[in-house]
Amino acid sequence: MKKYLLYTACILFSSVNLFAQDNGSLLDELGSDNTTDYITSTFKSPKVINSHSVEMLQKGVLDFRILHRFGLISNGAYEMFGLDQATMRLSFDYGITNNLSIGIGRSTRNKEFDGMIKYRLLQQSKGAINNAVSLVWVSGMTINGLKDPFAGEIETTFNRRLAYYHQLIVGRKFNEKFSLQLSPMIVHRNITTTSVDPNTLFGMEVGARYKLTNRFALVLDYTHAFNRFPGKISYNPLSVGVDIETGGHVFQLHFSNAVGMNERSFVADNNGSWLDGKFMFGFNLSRVFQVNN
């Protein structure tokens, strides 16, 4: 009888233990279904090359960025293939929250000042919340800082110095190597050089990134303006480059046919022809600082 009771107790203990293990596994499984994995590093920087990317700064992070572009390579050896000339833009962007950033910048071209606000509406994710893409909205303004931007032809007023842009960035990280974004945009200038040049330009930006190694990635940045004045000889901005990740900052080497490095400039100004060698070598340097938790 004692042996029978002992044998029965062993069976019951084993059954309870097995049930507990199975129940724990079931709870773990249920827990995993309730988790959401948000996709990060769609791009390695809040900028592709010229354009904003779908990537955001984290809360309390300050991004100090130097954009440097030399002269035309077609200028030849006398100008050191453009290295004797340079255009720059300096900027400070700050993450107010993980989904909201603001920024200011200053370009040597036209001595322009610019400001922007960037808000993430949706982040790509999988799991309990499954979002196929990320959505980011960006609005910005530029101010022409030249003493006489219109060369005396018309009166210079503060309102005439202004231009604006708005864009919706739709981006997706397809796998660990490839990311793509599309961004419909509007650029409005309060005044243009001629009456036939439209004040408002409608465009579409395409940005792509292909990861080569843990530290190197190829990037492409192209914007097509749909309603440029047909008689104006100008080309859409196309930039290609390589991202180099080095710890606390991202260093980027690139070639571009656009001199300007803010939205008003590279979308609306004259850009060179790649086929005629009218493109420039440049680099972008981004250094981030955690200034607030």
pLDDT at 164 over 80: yes
pLDDT band at 34 (very low <50, low <70, confident <90, very high): confident
Question: What does the alpha-carbon distance between residue 127 and residue 30 come to, in Å, rounded to a whole number?
Answer: 12
Share of residues in the chain with pLDDT > 70 (%): 87
Same domain, yes or no: 23 and 59: no
For the cut 50, the answer to whether the pLDDT of residue 268 exceeds it is yes
Structure tokens at 230: 């047909």
Reply yes or no on whether the pLDDT at 1 is more than 50: no
Q: Are residues 16 and 130 in the same domain?
A: no
Q: Are residues 29 and 107 in the same domain?
A: no
Tell me, what CATH number does 177's domain have?
2.40.160.40
The pLDDT score that the predictor gives to residue 20 is: 41
Q: What is the DSSP string of 260-279?
A: --SHHHHHHS----GGGT--
**Res 143: pLDDT:** 97
Q: Is the pLDDT of residue 27 over 60?
A: no
Domain ranges, residue 20: 1-34
Give residue 85's pLDDT.
86
The answer to whether residues 185 and 282 belong to one domain is yes
Looking at residues 44-61, what average pLDDT do you find? 95
Task: Please indicate, yes or no, whether residues 100 and 16 belong to a single structural domain of this protein.
Answer: no
Side-chain-side CA neighbours of 185 within 13 Å: the count stands at 31
Helical H runs in the chain? 2-33, 263-268
- Check whether 4 has a pLDDT greater than 60: no
> Is the per-residue pLDDT at 29 higher than 60?
no
> Per-residue pLDDT tens for 132-154?
999 999 999 999 999 988 887 88
Instruction: Indicate whether 9 and 120 sit together in one domain.
Output: no
Asked if 220 and 99 sit in the same domain, the reply is yes
Neighbours of 262 (CB within 10 A): 25
Instruction: Give pLDDT, residue 233.
Output: 65
Q: Using the predicted structure, report yes or no on whether residue 77 has a pLDDT greater than 80.
A: yes
> Is residue 8 domain-shared with residue 133, that is, in the same domain?
no
pLDDT band at residue 7 under the 50/70/90 scheme: very low
Report d(CA 168, CA 184) in Å as an integer. Answer: 6
Residues 2 and 135 in one domain: no
Higher pLDDT, residue 6 or 235: 235
Residues 6+ apart with CB under 8 A from 50: 221, 223, 237, 239, 256, 258, 261, 266
Angle at 65 between CA 137 and CA 258, to 5 degrees: 75
Given this model, what pLDDT does residue 229 score? 73
Query: Residues 180-229: pLDDT tens digits?
Result: 999 999 999 999 877 788 999 999 999 999 999 989 999 999 999 998 87
Residues 135 and 27 in one domain: no
**Dist. CA 197–CA 269, nearest whole Å:** 11
1 and 141 in a single domain? The answer is: no
> How many separate domains does the chain show?
2
Q: 278 and 175, same structural domain? A: yes
pLDDT digits (tens, 9 = 90+) for 81-125: 778 888 999 999 999 999 999 999 999 999 999 999 999 999 999
